[in-house]
Structure 1
């Protein structure tokens, strides 16, 4: 298993701060500093350059961090394989998933899960966050995976994977010459949004107002559509902007049809949640499928 000092160093590296790393790890800042210094002594290299409250990685630090991520991937892969060996599942699972998750994140994990557990029949029902919650309450699915914010006290929400929402434009349109937008530009540019009840729209409304003081209703909304693919097609063929979960547009960015624009002062990160009725968490083959989802989203 990974050495504790490496884990502490990785937290410092990823947060760029000893203080923030201490908060994440729930230990004191002096303890964090001590662990990093002892790791540097052990490896006989300097890993970080301290700049006030923040740090920058040295070349050695970047190398150690890269190997840390490889070690995490190997450890999680080992745990997944051992779990598969210990347990052979059969039966059926009914999974509800928000549209983005059902289309762009879940299928890859399902394919690998099926190879190991071909006797498990998985049925996936997709919809927006509100629709998935309603299916769960009616008992039509065993658990759900949604992108919306927790809002139903009858359900338990457990964060499972992190996601980022970005602004994208037609890579061949007039906005492609830009790299960064300010709030005034964002307010006036034609924008295509998801429909009411969408988890993406919920988090977008919250974060735009919190980070930029911008209400969605004050934007130049030209259309609201009920699927990511529909919005992608619209943005690719017009001079407009769309807000997308990054996994949903990676192929389009690589193909050169869409381009990400940074927005000054805006950084939208969110969690995807496993949801289930109040009570015991998903177990057995459901828990194993969720492990596949976490692993293959993070490491592919």
Structure 2
């Protein structure tokens, strides 16, 4: 059993599908199947059964798959510790990044860091802020960039904030908002709760949602074409021209804002590459990166 075998088990357990697992790991399906057979021979047990739904793990296979995550983390930490002994800034930095930060800030940030530390590589996992919070709690990434208020007890750095806006191609009449077509998109639960609470405080009838999309970028484009209004963080729509924007406010008349944070573990600063990255981010103006 080597590291690649444990990676196969972990990924297959998450996907429950041979085809998807092979694509994620960039190996052929026959090669993946052969690895499974080799593992089954090694342990002398059946690990998975294949059926029309995909694969189903046996009790023995499920036990091995659940241990794969911990073993891979231990292997990764050993690699990082060995590299750290050389006192040079190198190795792989594992980042968890919310979708917005990935699209608007991450490429410029990594370019600046890479210019200064050319021996550093990156493994980036993207998702909603809620997804990134889970990655941080599970120690799957060194550093997380996410929006919103989470009960994070370890180290964090406030990066910037933005207001929540109603955006529309046409002039916005707040009194008529419940009767106007709204475009919604899939977002993390915290932002959805903020918007829903604001709506409940201001209107007695539900919004007229005419379009639902999966991505904020798609929603923004539809607003630009005049298909309806959307309620979004201001930085998502800063590049839209000729768009009417109104910042929403709470009952006290204060703007409703959303903060972006950098999360990290105190213990991760023991690794030179993580310490260098955290200090680098703390020393630059992220607002200026486009």
- Structure 2 length as normaliser, TM-score? 0.57
Map 1:113-128; keep pairs closer than 5 Å.
113-128=113-128
- For 1:124 and 1:216, locate their aligned partners in 2 and report how far apart those are by CA, in whole Å: 43
- For 1:164 and 1:262, locate their aligned partners in 2 and report how far apart those are by CA, in whole Å: 6
Q: Which runs of 5+ in 2 are unaligned?
A: 1-86
Task: Note if 1:296 corresponds to 2:285.
Answer: yes
- For 1:230 and 1:193, locate their aligned partners in 2 and report how far apart those are by CA, in whole Å: 10
Task: Note if 1:194 corresponds to 2:185.
Answer: yes
Q: Deviations over 1:226-251 (max 9, x none)?
A: 32211112222343112233333333
Q: What is the CA distance between 1:217 and its match in structure 2?
A: 8.3
Map 1:114-193; keep pairs closer than 5 Å.
114-151=114-151, 158-170=157-169, 175=170, 178=171, 181-182=173-174, 184-193=175-184
- Other-structure match for 2:228: 240
Instruction: Check conservation: 1:93, 1:286, Cα contact below 8 A.
Output: yes
Alpha carbons of structure 1 residues 99 and 219: separation in structure 2 relative to 1, 3 Å: same
- For 1:215 and 1:90, locate their aligned partners in 2 and report how far apart those are by CA, in whole Å: 54
Instruction: Check conservation: 2:220, 2:236, Cα contact below 8 A.
Output: no
Alpha carbons of structure 1 residues 262 and 298: separation in structure 2 relative to 1, 3 Å: closer
- Other-structure match for 1:286: 274
- For 1:216 and 1:273, locate their aligned partners in 2 and report how far apart those are by CA, in whole Å: 34
- For 2:212 and 2:123, locate their aligned partners in 1 and report how far apart those are by CA, in whole Å: 28
Q: What is the CA distance between 1:252 and its match in structure 2?
A: 2.6
- For 1:216 and 1:103, locate their aligned partners in 2 and report how far apart those are by CA, in whole Å: 36
- For 2:204 and 2:219, locate their aligned partners in 1 and report how far apart those are by CA, in whole Å: 17
* Larger Rg, first or second structure (1 or 2): 2
Q: Which runs of 5+ in 1 are unaligned?
A: 1-86
For these two proteins, the number of residue pairs brought into alignment is 198
- Pick from 192, 213, 216 the counterpart of residue 228 of structure 1: 216
Map 1:10-21; keep pairs closer than 5 Å.
none
Q: What is the CA distance between 1:94 and its match in structure 2?
A: 0.9
- Pick from 226, 245, 248 the counterpart of residue 260 of structure 1: 245
Q: What is the CA distance between 1:95 and its match in structure 2?
A: 0.6
- For 1:100 and 1:194, locate their aligned partners in 2 and report how far apart those are by CA, in whole Å: 13
Q: What is the CA distance between 1:147 and its match in structure 2?
A: 0.7
Q: What is the CA distance between 1:293 and its match in structure 2?
A: 4.2
The 3-state SS of whatever aligns with 1:144 is strand
286-295 vs 101-110, which moves further:
286-295
227-236 vs 279-288, which moves further:
279-288
- For 2:204 and 2:160, locate their aligned partners in 1 and report how far apart those are by CA, in whole Å: 26
Alpha carbons of structure 1 residues 268 and 201: separation in structure 2 relative to 1, 3 Å: same
Alpha carbons of structure 1 residues 288 and 271: separation in structure 2 relative to 1, 3 Å: farther
- For 1:188 and 1:286, locate their aligned partners in 2 and report how far apart those are by CA, in whole Å: 50
Q: Deviations over 1:35-77 (max 9, x none)?
A: xxxxxxxxxxxxxxxxxxxxxxxxxxxxxxxxxxxxxxxxxxx
- For 1:181 and 1:261, locate their aligned partners in 2 and report how far apart those are by CA, in whole Å: 10
The 3-state SS of whatever aligns with 2:285 is helix
Alpha carbons of structure 1 residues 96 and 281: separation in structure 2 relative to 1, 3 Å: same
Alpha carbons of structure 1 residues 199 and 128: separation in structure 2 relative to 1, 3 Å: farther
Instruction: Check conservation: 1:148, 1:200, Cα contact below 8 A.
Output: yes
- Other-structure match for 1:82: none
